[in-house]
Structure 1
Amino acid sequence: MVHRVAVLALEGVYPFELTIPVRIFGTAEGPDGEPLYEVLTCTLTGAPVTTSADFAITVTHGAEALRTADTLVIPPFACGVEGPREWLPAELAAALALLPPRARIVSICTASYVLAAAGLLDGRRATTHWNEARNFQRTFPEVEVDENVLFVDDGQVLTAAGVAAGIDLCLHLVRRDHGSEVANRVARLCVVPPWREGGQAQYIERPMPEPEAATTAATRAWALQHLDEPLTLARLADHARMSVRTFCRRFVEEVGMPPGQWLAQRRVDHARRLLETTALPVDQVATRAGFGTSASLRQHLSATLGVSPTAYRQSFRTPAPTP
């Protein structure tokens, strides 16, 4: 059955973010070219809404489309409200109540305020645009705000940071639903990277470094080509020609996470690709991804995705020759 995605356009919606879901999900196809998602754009009443630009949009569907949604995406909108209650007027609360209990709910950028005002982020980790993170945290202290990441997947509720991070999150959902090969094909057709390194830390306004200051970019690129080897902090710092302390500090400034965390994520990504596209035994996948043993791979995959390597392969295996 085709997965139905409802995109709720609220008054003052930002046009770019509004079109992200239909562009990403609408491009995803199965092995025989069949669409994997149905995307419905709706408003609260089915009537046209103004956008943040100099035009309005007309839609076919009203809030009733939420009754059959498997995923709801709320793009950001210009509304000029500040109080928590103002982010969730009665008609919007009534619309959200139409969602089936199983439905996923996704916010892009400052639409996270809507989810927080509805209590959907209470006790959860979430993100929003870095420029709004402090105000968001003050407004909703019960939410664990992470301003450094591009998106947060907390299971049924997902939040993306500003603008293009909505692309990252939608691609992540395609990858979560149908595997890396489908998501990578969507990314290629949309001419965007299948995933971006790091988080919002690289976009937050800071004083510009001196032109001669070294970066960790070359070392990150090198590490991706040597995931099957032991990559200690000392080895990475030596490649970057920095002390370990300087390397770690620069790495976090540029990527938004420590080197070890970044490396573990990249190894999990590589293991997933190998499980999906090759028939290699699990122990060989573990070796090529740099985990050393199948037990270590199983531990990392279970912690990241909640499944074993064998279960993941059964869900996402696509025929391809062993490299």
Structure 2
Amino acid sequence: MTLTIGIFVFDGFEALDVAGPFEVFSTAGRLTARQGQPPAFKPIMLSQFSQSVSGRGAFRVVPHGTIDHHPPLDVLILPGGVMDDANDEQVLSWVQAQQETVQLTASVCTGAFILGWAGLLPELATTHQEDQELLAATFPGTRISQQRFVDAGRIVTAGGISAGIDMSLHLVERLHSRELAEQTARQMEYDWKQQPPEAPPGDVGY
């Protein structure tokens, strides 16, 4: 069975917040296909509108679909970046609707603010180190962890930028197997920073 991973993109997204998870799930899918199995994962990019989207540093992508036209998703990933276009009523309604059907929703970096605006931020979460204080002030019901990612069940949040790769490998392990996650990290020649998914007592910044 192939799981569809939807990655939301918007003008001003952080490039590695998108490209890192996309590469993890794409590589994991290729590895399972190479073993004669259906690809474990199929990542796709989705935008609010159909035109190309420009991230930070003029990193441009052409989404595979829009939030109104896409296949059913198993996982939704919300990247960070310049968040002006992400705090949109149509986008937040879509995120809320997806949460009703996906296995889990994950954020990278300031993508945690999308979760908060949508009313989905868990009691314990994380974001980029420079934005942790603002996230805590904006959503006082959430405690902020210093870990690179926090697995709160159906909501998973990651710290800044490269932490999204560590979180995505964790999700490969959670949704498929540890063996595939380790194979994926080796294929990417990436030093996977693993950690317990639960934040220990006292590991809270704000």
Question: What band does the TM-score fall into relative to the shorter chain?
Answer: 0.7 to 0.9
| CA–CA separation in structure 2 for the residues paired with 1:87 and 1:143 | 20
CA contact (8 A) 2:26 2:42 kept: yes
Q: Deviations over 1:167-212 (max 9, x none)?
A: 000000001122211110000000112334699xxxxxxxxxxxxx
Find the partner of 2:80 among 76, 80, 92: 76
Aligned position for 1:26: 26
CA contact (8 A) 1:26 1:37 kept: yes
Q: Does residue 49 of structure 1 match 2:48?
A: no
Aligned position for 2:148: 150
Residues 1-323 of structure 1 mapped to structure 2, 5 A cutoff: 1-28=1-28, 29-30=31-32, 31-65=35-69, 68-79=72-83, 88-99=87-98, 101-103=100-102, 104-122=104-122, 124-146=123-145, 148-196=146-194
Uncovered stretches (5+) of structure 2, i.e. residues with no partner: none
Q: Which amino acid aligns with 1:57?
A: V
Distance change (3 Å), C-alpha of 1:157 and 1:95: same
Aligned position for 1:289: none
| CA–CA separation in structure 1 for the residues paired with 2:72 and 2:115 | 19
Q: Which amino acid aligns with 2:128?
A: H
Q: Deviations over 1:298-319 (max 9, x none)?
A: xxxxxxxxxxxxxxxxxxxxxx
| CA–CA separation in structure 2 for the residues paired with 1:186 and 1:98 | 31
Q: Which amino acid aligns with 2:48?
A: L
CA contact (8 A) 2:10 2:86 kept: no
- Compute the TM-score of the two structures, normalised by the length of structure 2: 0.85
CA contact (8 A) 1:6 1:65 kept: no
How far residue 105 of structure 1 moved from its aligned partner, in angstroms, is: 0.7
How far residue 50 of structure 1 moved from its aligned partner, in angstroms, is: 1.8
How far residue 47 of structure 1 moved from its aligned partner, in angstroms, is: 1.7
| CA–CA separation in structure 1 for the residues paired with 2:156 and 2:70 | 17
| CA–CA separation in structure 1 for the residues paired with 2:57 and 2:162 | 18
| CA–CA separation in structure 1 for the residues paired with 2:108 and 2:64 | 22
Aligned position for 1:273: none
Which protein has the bigger strand share? Answer: 2
How far residue 38 of structure 1 moved from its aligned partner, in angstroms, is: 1.1
CA contact (8 A) 1:67 1:98 kept: no
Cα RMSD of the aligned pairs, angstroms, is: 2.5
| CA–CA separation in structure 1 for the residues paired with 2:200 and 2:151 | 17
Uncovered stretches (5+) of structure 1, i.e. residues with no partner: 200-255, 262-323
- Compute the TM-score of the two structures, normalised by the length of structure 1: 0.56
Q: Which amino acid aligns with 2:16?
A: F
Q: Secondary structure of 1:99's partner?
A: helix
CA contact (8 A) 2:2 2:38 kept: no
Aligned position for 1:209: none
CA contact (8 A) 1:47 1:62 kept: no
Distance change (3 Å), C-alpha of 1:139 and 1:78: same
How far residue 45 of structure 1 moved from its aligned partner, in angstroms, is: 1.4
| CA–CA separation in structure 2 for the residues paired with 1:71 and 1:55 | 24
| CA–CA separation in structure 2 for the residues paired with 1:68 and 1:149 | 31
Q: Deviations over 1:200-258 (max 9, x none)?
A: xxxxxxxxxxxxxxxxxxxxxxxxxxxxxxxxxxxxxxxxxxxxxxxxxxxxxxxx979
